[in-house]
């Protein structure tokens, strides 16, 4: 059964360091601004008390996936196993919806400055929630070994030496 839903944008991403397109690297330490439409400002009341947000956004420039396609290694690395697209964070999806949990740096009226956000400049924002470890964090989480390898590789490539992934939890 196929269903269609209507959603509306509540704001837009402002990203001064956007390299353009979907091929650029987004440094998670660079800030982004989520600018919420004026009509939703009152809905932001209290959001500044959270350290992190859950942000849903529409990948408006990503090509929409129309079929499963072939299994591919993550990020094209032949050292990693081939997996289906649902196992990755590729923007090419049947419903191009992105999710991110950036750190909230500050709120200025309808502008939320965040870091750790991987949306392109101009991306429509669909929803924002305060990040709640009681709801989002799962103490029994696991990820595939290939993803741990990929995270370690990304951390080793960071010019600032910041490690986003630690082998031990």
Q: Which domains does the chain have, with CATH numbers?
A: 11-60+96-135 (2.40.30.70)
CA 98 vs CA 89, 91, 105, 125, 127: distances in Å: 9, 7, 21, 9, 11
What tens digit of pLDDT does each residue of 51-89 get?
999 999 999 998 888 898 889 888 888 888 999 998 888
Residue 168 has pLDDT above 60, yes or no: no
Identify the pLDDT of residue 55: 98
**Could you tell me the pTM of the whole model?**
0.83
Identify the pLDDT of residue 79: 87
Identify the pLDDT of residue 31: 92
CA–CA gap between residue 72 and residue 94 (Å, rounded):
17
Residue 152 has pLDDT above 90, yes or no: no
Identify the pLDDT of residue 167: 47
Which of 48, 53, 49, 28 is closest to 110 using CA atoms? 48
Query: Alpha helices of the chain — where are they, by DSSP H?
Result: 133-136, 145-157
Task: Give me the residues paired with residue 108 across strands.
Answer: 111
What tens digit of pLDDT does each residue of 1-15 get?
788 889 999 999 998
Identify the pLDDT of residue 4: 86
CB 71 within 8 A of CB 84: yes
Identify the pLDDT of residue 125: 98
Residue 50 has pLDDT above 80, yes or no: yes
CA–CA gap between residue 9 and residue 52 (Å, rounded):
20
């Amino acid at each position: 059964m196929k269903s269609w839903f209507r959603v509306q944008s509540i704001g837009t991403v402002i990203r001064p360091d956007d390299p353009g397109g979907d091929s650029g690297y987004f440094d998670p330490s660079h800030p982004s601004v989520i600018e919420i439409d004026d009509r939703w400002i009152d809905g932001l009341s209290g959001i500044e008390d959270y350290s992190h947000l859950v942000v849903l956004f529409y990948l408006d420039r990503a090509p929409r996936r129309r079929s499963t396609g072939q299994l591919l290694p993550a990020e094209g690395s032949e050292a990693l196993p081939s997996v289906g697209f649902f196992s990755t964070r590729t923007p090419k999806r049947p419903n191009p919806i992105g999710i991110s949990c950036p750190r909230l740096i500050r709120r200025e009226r309808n502008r939320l400055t965040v870091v750790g956000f991987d949306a392109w400049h101009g991306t429509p924002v669909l929803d924002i929630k305060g990040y709640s470890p009681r709801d989002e964090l799962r103490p029994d989480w696991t990820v595939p070994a290939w993803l741990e390898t990929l995270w370690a590789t990304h951390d080793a490539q960071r010019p600032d030496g910041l490690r986003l992934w630690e082998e031990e939890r």
